[in-house]
A and B are shown apart, each in its own frame.
Chain A
Amino acid sequence: MSGEAQTSWLGRLNIDSLSIWRAIENPSVSEFVGAGAALVAIFGGIGALVLITWLRAWGTLWRDWLTSTDHKKIGVMYCVLALVMLLRGVIEGVVMRTQQAFGMGGGFLAPEHFSELFSTHGTIMIFFVAMPFIIGITNYVMPLQLGARDMSFPVLNQISLALTATGAALVMISLVLGEFATGGWTNYPPYTGKDFQPGPGPDYWIWAIVLSGLGTTLTGINFAVTLYKERAPGMTLFRMPIFCWTVLCASIVMIFALPPLTLAALMLAADRYLDFHFFTNDLGGNMMNYVNLFWLFGHPEVYLLVIPAYGVFSEVVPTFSGKRLYGYNSMVYATMAIAVLSFCVWLHHFFTMGQSANVNIAFGIASMAIAVPTGVKIYNWVATMYRARIRMTVPMIYATGFFFLFTIGGLTGVMLANPVISYQVHNTLFLVAHFHNVLIPGVLFGIFAGYHFWFPKVFGFRLEERWGKRAACLWVVGFCFTFLPLYALGLMGMPRRSVMWDDPAFQPFMWLALVGALTILSAVTALGIQLWVSVRNRAATACPLGDPWNGRTLEWSIPSPPPPYNFAQVPQVRTRDDFTDAKATGRAYQPLSAYEDIEMPRNTAIGMIVLIGSTLLGLALIFWIWWLAIVSVGVMLTALIGRTFWLNTTYTIPAEEIARDHQAWLAEVHAAQRITRAEETQAANRGRAALELPQGVSV
């Protein structure tokens, strides 16, 4: 905050902001790790640009992806963003585990650097891996399951993606310019207030969260409206696939639980920029307000993540068990109950803040109550598998891992919901073990199961099985080794967020956890190899006819990849699991009597304008470059408002074209060999399933 820095036209940005320069000025291992990460980010970015140029892909990229308003394209872009960020998040996790393994009395990382690592790791994993991945899968799958042509608001969808990408971009830029916050993913003041951290770190967190949070709220609105207004005729709420129900709950959280986070972050910004006193130590500020607001968001947030993962498992388990889901209604009610209860328990994240025992116990009981509907779900899945002919495909491996490990995580959650226990283990590695225990087997495994399950729908070919199985097993094993020892360490009293420690009894557990982290790293590598191998062999695993797994819901009733308009004719839904019923009763794959023109939204560059504009806006605010802030807001507003004067926002796909494509596909379907489940993973599987029902079980 020196005087001359403020007068520069670049605000407080100067040569010392460059992390690489800092490493040159005072070399140390810690600085080199930071500079190395910056170099990776820079060269990664440049490499991507070079690769695109070399492939001459700029035109395609721009026309088919970046400016697209197609929910399917947007969904895929969300997932790609999440995968890139996952890579960084995992590497950071491994670096932290390495530091702690050698952390007896020191280690190689400076304390601030370690703090930056757990702060970025937590922020990235929650906001830029788990959320965009869930949102991406939903974006792709939900409209297809509903029998819809697109989301209710396709352009808004694009803008939401842009805002999420802005947040991710800011976190990536913090590797190179300035530094990220050191206050954890929760960024608690007063430590993150301007008295203690005047630098740009907390501002990176604030603007990444505010901008991407805005995008997430808009996404939630889009999902909810789509669910209510775009369902195909005949699809009543209680005929929706369970995944759609879980998305409804997730969107409730996005709509109602993101505002407290936005508010908390903006209030913190007011404290830091305008000298307000919301959370300061002096002049009537109250930092406990922040904690309260943050967790008003924070707890529903974890349900935002895990409920759609439940939804994925609710699609995967019945499909690979060849049975309908056991207890549909109870599943719906359990999901809704969890969604509402998730708004009633936030205080369990700060039992030790000082409120009376009565307050604590009220929230403690509410928290334990969540275990009941969750238990209902687990039993439903298990009952679905009971006496079924289960196919142990990759998604099912993840599902199995989920059942066992998530139950452990859930049970330690019930333990933590007891204020008495929480007083003992709060702020220790026990907590770290717990939340990774629900986030990895719950959210991440759900995401991976969905990734394997729907990949053939998206790209028209299946993922390679052997590497997939290897990766899945490595994830399960790696998870156990990395995080189960942390329970023990927590009970032994090791605080979380510790850069070093001095009790020799910790050492063996630290080694175990390091081995686990390396196993997870190899699991990620295996996923990469799998993708590579699958793309190379895509001819052998092609399944363009659209139904490789004998699917049950509408998304499997169309070609893979689906045409831009999804359905040549909006389907008429008769029952739950409509596609299974259609196949059984001969309704599936029928020619249409007439085709109609379809009107679809045009491409637009508005998302890219928002992406660039809001990234510049974020940087301008972080580095106090006020003129740039004004310019970027002005440009974005002009573009957004100007666009509303433009009425010609759709184009028409002629009926002949639709008819031609649809009839060609139908001809292929009827000519194709019908695949039994035994041949599911073989080259013969081109996406036409033979009807198979378990004996004695009706559709």
Chain B
Amino acid sequence: MRNPDFKAELRAYLLGFGLALALTVVPFAVVVFGPGTQGLAIILITLCALAQLVVQLRYFLHLDLSEQKREDLHLVLFTVLLLGIMSIGTIWILGNLAIRM
């Protein structure tokens, strides 16, 4: 039974939690205290959201690139591809229509 012991795993969860919390506080702070320009704020919020996405996938959903069987990775990447096509396409098309209205 080569199971990593309970404490170590718990610590990983706590680490993930801490990171996620930090990545939540930062964007809220940016909006509340409003330092810098709007463009900067948008970039910060986006980066924090993406980082938190990775953190949660890694520490809570245990999705990593190493031990996965290929098919699971296929699934997730494929979904992201399709979602990207669909949502970016939607925003592009309707944005274009809005401009031309």
Contacts and interface: CB of A to CB of B under 8 A. Distances in A.
Given A228-B71, A256-B79, A359-B92, A354 B86 contact: no
A260 B86 contact: yes
Interface string B74-98: 0000110110011001101110110
B94 A354 contact: no
Contacts of A344: 85, 89
Nearest to A256: B82
B94 A288 contact: yes
A288 B91 CA distance: 12
A352 interface: no
B96 A356 contact: yes
A292 interface: yes
Residue among A340, A353, A355 with the highest chain B CB neighbour number at 10 A: A355
A663 interface: no
Contact of A354 (B78, B85, B92, B100): B100
Given A228-B71, A292-B90, A359-B92, A354 B82 contact: no
Residue among B96, B97, B101 with the highest chain A CB neighbour number at 10 A: B97
B85 to A, nearest CB: 5
Main secondary structure of the interface of B (DSSP, over half): helix
Contact of B93 (A252, A260, A355): A355
A359 B79 contact: no
Residue among B71, B79, B82 with the highest chain A CB neighbour number at 10 A: B82
Given A343-B86, A354-B100, A356-B100, A292 B93 contact: yes
A14 interface: no
Contacts of A433: none
A471 interface: no
B89 to A, nearest CB: 8
Contacts of B101: 354
A289 B71 contact: no
Contacts of B97: 288, 353-355
B68 to A, nearest CB: 13
Interface string A329-364: 000000000001001101100000111100100000
A286 interface: yes
Contacts of B81: 340
B100 A355 contact: yes
A625 interface: no
A228 B89 CA distance: 30
A359 B88 CA distance: 13
Main secondary structure of the interface of A (DSSP, over half): helix
Contacts of B90: 292-293, 296
Contact of A292 (B79, B94, B100): B94
A288 B81 CA distance: 24
Contacts of A292: 90, 93-94
Interface in A251-279: 252, 256, 260
Nearest to A353: B97
Interface residues on A, range: 20 to 34
A355 B89 CA distance: 12
A677 to B, nearest CB: 39
Given A228-B71, A354-B100, A359 B93 contact: yes
Contacts of A228: 71
Contacts of A346: 89
A296 B89 CA distance: 10
Contacts of A356: 96, 100
Residue among B85, B86, B101 with the highest chain A CB neighbour number at 10 A: B86
Contacts of A340: 81
A111 B97 CA distance: 32
A81 to B, nearest CB: 29
B82 A343 contact: yes
Nearest to B92: A359
B74 to A, nearest CB: 9
A375 B92 CA distance: 30
A286 B71 CA distance: 39
A359 B85 contact: no
B101 to A, nearest CB: 8
B96 A355 contact: yes
A359 B100 CA distance: 12
Contacts of B79: 256
A161 B81 CA distance: 30
Nearest to B81: A340
A188 B100 CA distance: 22
A347 B88 CA distance: 13
A356 B93 CA distance: 9
A228 B79 CA distance: 16
Residue among A252, A256, A289, A354 with the highest chain B CB neighbour number at 10 A: A256
A525 to B, nearest CB: 43
Nearest to A286: B94
A626 B79 CA distance: 37
A286 B78 CA distance: 30
A397 B78 CA distance: 38
B85 A289 contact: no
B7 to A, nearest CB: 33
Residue among B79, B85, B89, B100 with the highest chain A CB neighbour number at 10 A: B89
Contacts of B85: 343-344
Contacts of A354: 97, 100-101
Given A228-B71, A354-B100, A355-B100, A289 B82 contact: no
Nearest to B99: A356
B30 to A, nearest CB: 29
A228 B69 CA distance: 12
A260 B92 CA distance: 17
Contacts of A289: 94
Interface in B18-77: 71
A449 B35 CA distance: 68
Contacts of B94: 286, 288-289, 292
Interface of A: 228, 252, 256, 260, 286, 288-289, 292-293, 296, 340, 343-344, 346-347, 353-356, 359
23 contacts: A228-B71, A252-B78, A256-B79, A256-B82, A260-B86, A286-B94, A288-B94, A288-B97, A292-B93, A296-B86, A296-B89, A296-B90, A340-B81, A343-B82, A343-B85, A344-B85, A344-B89, A347-B89, A347-B93, A354-B97, A354-B101, A356-B100, A359-B96
Smallest CB-CB A-B distances: 7 pairs: A355-B96, A256-B82, A359-B96, A355-B97, A343-B85, A356-B96, A228-B71
